[in-house]
Chain A
């Protein structure tokens, strides 16, 4: 599969934007300037960037919590995302939700429930709707390696495969579910083996290679879009921080981190660009400057934005509200 230079540069831009945004969030967390915790995709950004960028405009993403790249690629601005971390009214959810609990149907993004793999059946349902209506749309649903132990993973995969629905299941296999290593999570070597049980084709890709993830996802979307049913894509990677920033991840062997540091997805892409004459240092620096500026502006926007009013918390429970007279 050929990939255009402009697409490669966009992948790089989103990779950098994701990296720098989450690095900034991490700093803000340690400074006590954002609310709650900070879960990042550090070291695994190529996955959300790759599968997110391969989606088309009318497609849908049902992400999990290390999928910042998807939010950005779908068009949810860094400003609104940063405001979300600050708990501001201008955040994606107006302060109702925090951090990575982002969803916005205007951009084709389903909200992320913390109960991992819940978005597998939910995504399956969107795919079912596309199939019933005869639309050539697909959905990508993502979870982590830990999430694949849950029943909803199984139920979503099974239903989607039985009905050959246009969905692609992505797994961010970053080796640890919070502190629990893969070997205590499953008795198989590759998560992709799980797909066999559902009669679903699967693919294992280097989750630190945005281009490889993009290509695999695009290929799977094409199959799904044309009635070929779902594919499971296992993206092998390494979570380079703790589960969230409060977690020092002492349980992870240092040598494992050292090994994966060399395979950093940003460095990987820069090396690829140099070796294949895609772009030189100057051009990449230019992209990075643009990214830095965007994040500075996002932070300023978030800082300056108003907080929601306490009474805003009482609004929006129902899409069809019950008449006022019923309330006390």
Chain B
């Protein structure tokens, strides 16, 4: 075992997969010599050459489409969106081509789109967004969002080996801020499986990405008040691990869904609807969503902090729920 950062976990996953399989290559803006805006691909160009770590024109639809075409003839491209926000430029290629190829005409499209997402970096409206909601309603895509270095590495490997288009949401706030241990040997974290980040008995927090750490922080505060939280880290957002969601509902009977994405029509709305539809009899109270308000991500630190759900917001939601 060794301790590595979330960022290194992502890099190691790509490095090891590129060494293992010559069909794996990276393309995107400034990923080559420069090593990417966040330095996630640093050093890979030297190791694998400019044709496997490929700098592209500033052209998200173009290089996402190109990844799709390469995948159709047997490659396993990894697309780096410089910032997840720019994925909107590639929306059509992802939604109408990648997502539908296999269903429509049997064209398997094994691409991974790495999307550095999320706020807390004072990046403003175009460098801070959560983009999973854009794609959550698109059958044919898979969406993952790791919260630990272990999952970041294992889920990226699984995504690269998967035969479908996977949007890999990597939270840029976590890049160098968290570290955890990963095995020396090869491993994958399967797509479609949530994990219990913290076992508890009184209330469940269902979340993913950086918010897992916010939930953990809240759970510490609540522990002092005698409330035991169970935290479910979804890891895969599309398709949702319904079994894991229902199991925790049946165990604690109280649920808060937490995400950094804006509230309306978000992942939390779907999780809440699923619980309502399939676990109504197990509920002690309403499913409460703690999410960002329905505005663009504001720039100033004061406003951004108010925008992104904080531990105290989770605590007050849970305290409200505990009254039922």
Contact = CB atoms under 8 A, between A and B. Distances in A.
A294 interface: no
Interface string A96-125: 110001111100001101110010111111
B207 interface: no
A121 B62 contact: yes
Interface stretch (A30-38, A126-134, A184-192): A126-134
Contact of A317 (B65, B68, B140): B140
A152 interface: yes
A97 B105 contact: yes
Contacts of A93: 104-106
B250 interface: no
Contacts of A155: 57, 59, 61-63, 65
Contacts of A132: 25, 51-52, 70, 75
A305 interface: no
Q: Max chain B CB contacts within 10 Å: which of A102, A111, A152, A319?
A: A319
B62 A113 contact: no
Nearest to B274: A328
Interface string B164-204: 10000000000000000000000000011000000000000
B232 to A, nearest CB: 14
A199 interface: no
A122 B66 contact: yes
Given A129-B74, A152-B92, A317 B102 contact: yes
A228 to B, nearest CB: 18
A96 B105 CA distance: 7
Given A103-B107, A122-B97, A316-B103, A162 B57 contact: yes
B65 A128 contact: no
Nearest to A108: B73
B172 to A, nearest CB: 25
Interface string A68-94: 000000000000000000000000110
B104 A325 contact: no
B211 interface: no
A320 interface: yes
Q: Max chain B CB contacts within 10 Å: which of A62, A102, A127, A129?
A: A129
A277 interface: no
Given A322-B192, A326-B192, A326-B243, A96 B69 contact: no
A104 B75 CA distance: 17
Contacts of A130: 73
Interface residues of A, number: 50
Nearest to A315: B103
Contacts of A62: 69
A99 to B, nearest CB: 12
Interface residues of B, number: 53
A151 interface: yes
A132 B76 CA distance: 12
A327 B139 CA distance: 13
A156 interface: yes
B241 A326 contact: yes
Contact of B61 (A105, A121, A131): A121
Contacts of A121: 61-66, 68-69, 93
A151 to B, nearest CB: 6
B105 A118 contact: no
B52 A105 contact: no
A47 interface: no
Interface string B33-71: 000000000000000000110101101011111111111
B220 interface: no
Contact of B69 (A92, A110, A316): A110
A273 interface: no
A126 B108 CA distance: 13
A265 to B, nearest CB: 28
Contacts of B274: 328
A327 B278 CA distance: 12
B252 interface: no
Contact of B192 (A103, A123, A129, A323): A323
Contacts of A152: 61-62, 65, 92-93
B72 interface: yes
B2 to A, nearest CB: 29
Interface string A285-327: 0000000000000000000000000000000111110110111
B69 A322 contact: no
B163 interface: yes
A152 B25 CA distance: 22
Interface of B: 25, 51-52, 54, 56-57, 59, 61-75, 77, 92-93, 96-97, 100-110, 139-140, 142, 162-164, 191-192, 239-243, 274, 278
7 contacts: A118-B97, A121-B63, A124-B69, A132-B52, A155-B63, A318-B142, A319-B109
Given A118-B97, A129-B69, A151-B61, 19 more contacts: A96-B105, A105-B72, A113-B100, A118-B96, A124-B66, A126-B72, A126-B73, A128-B70, A155-B57, A155-B61, A156-B62, A158-B59, A159-B66, A316-B102, A319-B108, A320-B162, A322-B191, A323-B192, A326-B242
Interface of A: 60, 62, 92-93, 96-97, 101-105, 110-111, 113-115, 118, 120-132, 139, 151-152, 154-156, 158-159, 162, 316-320, 322-323, 325-328
Q: Closest 8 interchain pairs by CB?
A: A125-B69, A121-B65, A155-B62, A125-B66, A103-B105, A319-B163, A319-B108, A122-B69
